[in-house]
A and B are shown apart, each in its own frame.
Chain A
Amino acid sequence: MSTPTTTATAQSAAQVNRHKADWRGWKFMWPFAAVFAFVFIIPIAYAIYISFFQQRLIGGNVFVGVDNYTRLFQDQQFWTAVGRVALFTVVQVPIMLFLAAALALAIDSMKLHGTKFFRIATFLPYAVPAVVSTLIWGFAYGAKYGLVGSFNSFFGTNFDAFAPSVLLASIGNIVTWEFTGYNMLIFYSSLSTIPHSLYEAASIDGASEWDIVKSIKLPELRGSLAITVIFSIIGSFQLFNEPSILQNMVPGNAITTNYTPNMYAYNLSFSGNQSNYAAAMAIVMAVITMVIAYAVQLRSMKDQMK
């Protein structure tokens, strides 16, 4: 009689314990969960909700189902913007990451004088707010009185950094200037985790400096490459500050209100009274960015597993 009871008690005690353990964990979760819900889940849910409505000057707020989404897929202005940031990503990101990796390797080579100064100097542009650096570059690009203007009058050329055909490259230049140092630092920190014994072993084996870079340093960079690529892709797809500040400085409105998807959503929402459509756009852009970032991440993880 006593034996089964004991067993049962023991069992239920175990259950209670497991139960308690579960909840203890959740208690630690709630500060995060609350913030996460407020700044993340609720806004997204709200954006999805309002994307099914339209606020009209005549007729007020009406439920329109997936109208905003079907309109979006036929919206030439939106897809031009997506195409533009995609082109920007494909060209600017590799250039920037190549420069960053080269700088990191140079600093890590221990053959430079004034490494510390060099490292800070490269990183400094990242510490300048994007608004300020865009203004500085905007003035420098001025074809009449800016740096470009002086360059032109000195060499007798007629280069115009604000011409519609080179404008995207001009913006790319600003972004590269801003973020190369940041990416360099990520690369550099992963290089500095390589144990010194590896280099010693390599030099005992008679490896040249180039062999060390190729066989030790570059493989080490691959891990941080995935991170920088993903950050950069997200950054370029969300391109907003630079073009919207340059907008007023560029003649002929060459930076249109739909220059990048984010600018388009912003302008629709705040000067076009179309927050609902902008919400649909934000969600579609989020999905597009997610898919691309996910694909890149999967790929790089596969590479690392090899």
Chain B
Amino acid sequence: MKFGKKAIAAVGSLAMLGSIAACGSNSGNANSGSASSDGKVTLTVWAWDSTIPRTVKGFEAANPNIKVKIVNAGTSKDEYTALSNAMQAGSGAPDMAQIEYYALPEYVTRGYMQNVADNGAKDFGDFYTPGTWASVSLNGGVYGLPMDSGPMAWFYNKEVFDKAGVDPTQVKSWDEFYEAAKKIRATGSYITSDSGDAGFFDSMTWQNGAKPFDTSSDGKTVTINLTGDDKVKGFVDWWQKLISEDLIDTKTAGWTDDWNKGLDNGSIASLLIGAWMPYNLLSGAPNGDGKWRVTQMPTSDGQPAGSESGGSSLGIIKSDDKAKVDAAYKYLEYVTHNKEGIATRVEAGAFPADNNTLNSPDFLNVTSITDADGKAHEYFGGQKFNEELATAAKNVRAGYKFLPFEVYARGKFGDFVGKSFTDKQKLSDGVKAWQDDIVSYAKQQGYSVKE
């Protein structure tokens, strides 16, 4: 009897093991296209960028033997999760994928990406801006081509700033920004919001000239020096002041419904964010139409300086199928290098990464953005906003490097630094804890670490 009870209990509890151990078998199921007998190739492309699907028609018309299927496998980290998942499972991976510059070194290190230097891409160096070209030329190869770029700029709601009596075009230094933030706060709005965003942190320290991360040429040694870098400290101290004095909104997480509404009604008055923002503003804050403007980023010393935020490359997933790679390269070239392909995407709101477009009057003189229904909006009140953004692109500081496991590092940022925004933890303590975690991860992954 006793044995019977125990046995039943044991079997019952064993049954749970299954459901726990079964987690982790969630593999991607997008079909990898393949070359069929009639010479037709179907390419599966993972991208969340809304301008990519618009290139398919033009490309397929010029290349009748190639069919392109765009799949939105999630934005940024969600796509990377799905991609890692599919690569580890050995099936379900796409043929091409949109990968942000910060994540590319990681996937190159893991051996997921196809080197396209010998397909002709190695001669494109002068075509792209130096920053974006450096982001895709890694370990002596070319592992994707720049799709767009995201120089940081200051987008602001002029109505709110007028009410507070602040002219952002005259706000050059971080100190002046701090004073402006106080005046904005006095009207009831916040100058901006941040509740702990790793990408923003990286962009701001980069703009300030920090170089916290480095990887040796053999790829085996990483430098992680967030706590010892003066320029990181400069940003942390300034931002801490704004957090402590309740001058920035730390209670609204970015990209949420509440955040969009805050931008829409002016309670969040401005954003320090990438040049890809205009279209997002139009869709997320439609009431801001005509009220917003763009200007250059404030810097610690008031001298022009800039950095990138986001921006993506399009890459080919490593494959032995030569026909497949060649077809994929054709599409890659069309989207990122072909005049027609780039023009299609820029029209739809993409911020280009190539010098030709950045210098072309057609691009610089644009004053309106087109919504999904094809209606043009002078969202920035007639300002030639691309001109301002192109200036920001020229000011981007060279030499900032990402970690070879930046996706992991950014994923962990919130775990340690988040409390500095919602709780009483000091920002510098959060950064220290984050550094410790990245260091132990690097060691665990077999790197030698310099701090």
Please name all residues of chain B whose beta carbon is closer than 8 Å to the beta carbon of A39 when the two chains form the complex: 18, 22
- Taking CB atoms and an 8 Å cut-off, the chain A residues in 151-193 that contact chain B are 160, 163-164
A271 at the interface (CB under 8 A from B): yes
Known A-B contacts A249-B253, A251-B422; A271 and B407 likewise in contact (beta carbons under 8 Å): yes
Q: Which one of B92-100, B338-346, B439-447 is at the interface?
A: B439-447
> Do the beta carbons of B445 and A257 come within 8 Å of each other?
no
Contact A249 B256, beta carbon cutoff 8 Å = yes
Q: Assuming A54-B444, A238-B19, what are 7 further A-B pairs, CB within 8 angstroms?
A: A57-B404, A164-B419, A251-B251, A253-B196, A285-B20, A286-B16, A286-B21
Cβ-defined partner of A298 (8 Å) among B6, B88, B414 = B6
Contact B446 A58 (CB under 8 A): yes
**Given A160-B251, A256-B415, A298-B5, does the pair A293, B24 have CB atoms closer than 8 Å?**
no
Hey, which chain A residues are within 8 Å of B404, CB to CB? 57
Cβ of B255 within 8 Å of any chain A Cβ, yes or no, is yes
Contact B422 A248 (CB under 8 A): no
Complex: how many Å from CA A262 to CA B25? 13
Q: Is A267 an interface residue (CB 8 A)?
A: yes
B227 close to A (CB within 8 Å): no
With A163-B422, A297-B12, A298-B6 as given contacts, are A248 and B24 in contact (CB-CB < 8 Å)? no
Is the Cβ of B85 less than 8 Å from the Cβ of A270? yes
Nearest CB in chain A to that of B9: its residue: A297
Instruction: A303 to B253: give the CA distance in the assembly, Å.
Output: 49
- Assess the A144–B258 pair: CB atoms within 8 A: yes
| Nearest CB on A from B307, distance (A) | 22
Q: Does any Cβ of B come within 8 Å of A301's Cβ?
A: yes
Cβ-defined contact, B445 with A143, below 8 A:
no
The answer to the question of B109 belonging to the interface, with a C-beta cut-off of 8 Å to chain A, is: yes
Beyond A57-B445, A139-B257, A251-B421, whether A272 also contacts B411 by CB under 8 A is yes
Q: Which residues of A contact B20 (CB under 8 A)?
A: 238, 262, 282, 285-286, 289
Rounded to whole angstroms, the CA-CA distance of A71 and B322 in the bound complex is: 43
Cβ of A56 and Cβ of B445 under 8 Å apart?
yes
In the bound complex, CA of A160 to CA of B405 (Å): 35
Closest-CB distance, A300 to chain B (whole angstroms): 9
Question: Is A224 interfacial (CB-CB < 8 Å)?
Answer: no
Interface of A is mostly: helix
User: Cβ of B372 < 8 Å from any Cβ of A?
Assistant: no
* A273 close to B110 (CB less than 8 A): yes
Q: Are B88 and A275 in contact (CB under 8 A)?
A: yes
| Contacts across chains A and B counted by CB atoms under 8 Å | 167
With A and B bound together, what is the CA distance between A47 and B14 in angstroms? 15
B208 within 8 A of A: no
B77 nearest CB across to chain A (Å): 7
* Interface assignment of B84: CB less than 8 Å from any CB of chain A: yes
Which chain A residue lies CB-closest to B404?
A: A57
Task: List 13 A–B pairs whose Cβ atoms lie within 8 Å, in order of A's numbering.
Answer: A142-B257, A248-B256, A252-B195, A253-B196, A253-B415, A254-B418, A266-B24, A273-B408, A289-B13, A290-B13, A290-B16, A297-B8, A302-B5
Q: Cβ of B24: which chain A residues have Cβ within 8 Å of it?
A: 47, 265-266, 269, 275, 278-279, 282
Q: With contacts A44-B18, A163-B422, A265-B23 known, is A301 near B256, CB below 8 A?
A: no
| In the complex, chain A residues whose CB is within 8 Å of the CB of B418 | 252-254, 256
Q: Mark A93-119, 1 if CB is under 8 A from B, else 0.
A: 000000000000000000000000000
Is A283's CB within 8 Å of the partner chain B? yes
Of B8, B253, B257, B419, which one neighbours A250 at CB under 8 angstroms?
B253
| Nearest CB in chain A to that of B413: its residue | A253
- List which B375-421 residues lie within 8 A (CB) of chain A: 404-405, 407-408, 411-415, 417-419, 421
Residue A195 at the chain B interface, CB threshold 8 Å: no
| Interface presence of A230 (CB below 8 A) | yes
In the bound assembly, the distance between CA atoms of A160 and B251 in angstroms comes to: 10
Q: Are A252 and B196 in contact (CB under 8 A)?
A: yes
- Give complex CA distance A280, B9 in Å: 24
Pairwise interchain contact A270-B18, C-beta atoms closer than 8 A:
no
Give the residues in chain B near A228, CB-CB below 8 Å: none
Q: Determine how close the nearest CB of chain A comes to the CB of B130; give it in whole angstroms.
A: 27
Judge whether B77 and A56 touch: CB under 8 Å. Answer: no
What 4 A-B pairs are tightest by C-beta distance, nearest first? A253-B414, A252-B422, A253-B418, A58-B446
B417 proximity list for chain A (CB < 8 A): 253
* B172 beta carbon closer than 8 Å to chain A: no
Specify the chain A residue showing the minimal Cβ separation from B447.
Answer: A58
Q: Of residues 186 to 240 in A, which have CB atoms within 8 Å of B's CB atoms? A: 230, 234, 238, 240
What chain B residues lie within 8 Å of A251 (beta carbons)?
195-196, 250-253, 421-422
**A273 touching B405 by the CB < 8 A rule?**
yes
Minimal beta-carbon separation of A222 from chain B (angstroms): 16
Q: Which residue of A lies closest to B408 (CB)?
A: A272
Would you call A57 and B446 a contact (CB within 8 A)? yes
A298 closest partner in B (C-beta)? B9
CB distance from B411 to the nearest CB of A (A): 5
B62 interfacial by beta-carbon distance below 8 Å: no
A40 within 8 A of B: yes
Q: B276 at the A/B interface (Cβ < 8 Å)?
A: no
**A234 vs B262: C-alpha distance in the bound complex, in angstroms?**
40
Kindly state the separation between the CA atoms of A15 and B244 in the bound complex, as whole angstroms: 86
Which residues from chain B contact A230 at a C-beta distance below 8 Å? 12
Contact of B81 among A59, A234, A258, A270 (CB under 8 A): A270
User: A43 contacts the other chain (Cβ, under 8 Å)?
Assistant: yes
Q: Which residues of B contact A58 (CB under 8 A)?
A: 219-220, 445-447
Q: Check A63 for interface membership: any CB of B closer than 8 A.
A: no
Given A144-B258, A145-B257, A301-B9, does the pair A271, B446 have CB atoms closer than 8 Å?
Answer: no
User: Is A294 in contact with chain B by the CB < 8 A criterion?
Assistant: yes
- Residues of chain B lying within 8 A (CB to CB) of residue A248: 253, 255-256
Flag whether B61 is at the interface (Cβ < 8 A).
no
A266 and B81 alpha carbons, distance in the complex (Å): 10
Q: Which residue of B lies closest to A256 (CB)?
A: B415
